[in-house]
Structure 1
């Protein structure tokens, strides 16, 4: 039985990497077990780890679900200086999405449900609200 998930990205400059991910996630880390390693619980049971080290090539992207992809992209462009990325959609896909990289080459992305009822149902089921 799988009950929890972790995903790790590595950054060569840990101090800057931590700051970058704090801005991306809009919060301080939830867990700091030792130097060069921090974790955030993104949603219940899903942890993002940032570790000092050499980034893995060709991994990802780790896509984060958001309720307004354009507003979130604009915030990241402004606050993190990432390049404005294209947002895609297809008729047969129930979400729109876009990808970008952090300052160390880790591939990340965002997605937004097109059906807002489905989005609200997912949020309620994940957060049990």
Structure 2
């Protein structure tokens, strides 16, 4: 039985990478076991690991749910100087989404639930963690 998960992203400049992900996630890491490695528990049992090293090409994106994708895109463009990215939406897909890269080439995506009832249910479940 799987009960927890981690996903690892790498950065060639760990100091800048850690600062970038602190700003992206809007908080300090939850665990820094040694130099060149930091972890954030994004959701209960779901950890983002940032490691010093060469980013893996062609992997990802890792996608994060947000309440308002347009507002979050604007925040990231202003705070982290990411390139503007397109937000996609298809009638048969219950979310809108977009993908961008961190400064080391790791592909990251955001998505927003379109159905307000579903969005509210997800937020309630998250708040009750």
Same fold (TM over 0.5): yes
Moved beyond 3 Å, runs of 4+:
none
d(CA) in 2 for partners of 1:80, 1:125: 29
Match of 1:10 in 2: 10
1:77: Cα distance to partner? 0.2
d(CA) in 1 for partners of 2:63, 2:40: 15
CA shift digits 1:15-40 (9 cap, x unpaired): 00000000100000000000000000
Specify every segment of 5 or more residues in structure 1 that has no aligned partner in the other structure, as ranges: none
Give the length in aligned residue pairs.
Answer: 129
d(CA) in 2 for partners of 1:124, 1:77: 28
d(CA) in 1 for partners of 2:30, 2:6: 13
1:110: Cα distance to partner? 0.3
Match of 2:115 in 1: 115
Match of 1:65 in 2: 65
The equivalences for 1:1-129 within 5 A come to 1-128=1-128
Sort the Cα spacing of 1:19 and 1:105 in 2 relative to 1 into closer, same or farther, 3 A.
same
8 Å CA contact 1:66–1:112 kept in 2: the answer is: yes
Specify every segment of 5 or more residues in structure 2 that has no aligned partner in the other structure, as ranges: none
Q: Secondary structure at the match of 1:41?
A: strand
8 Å CA contact 1:63–1:108 kept in 2: the answer is: yes
TM-score (norm 1): 0.97
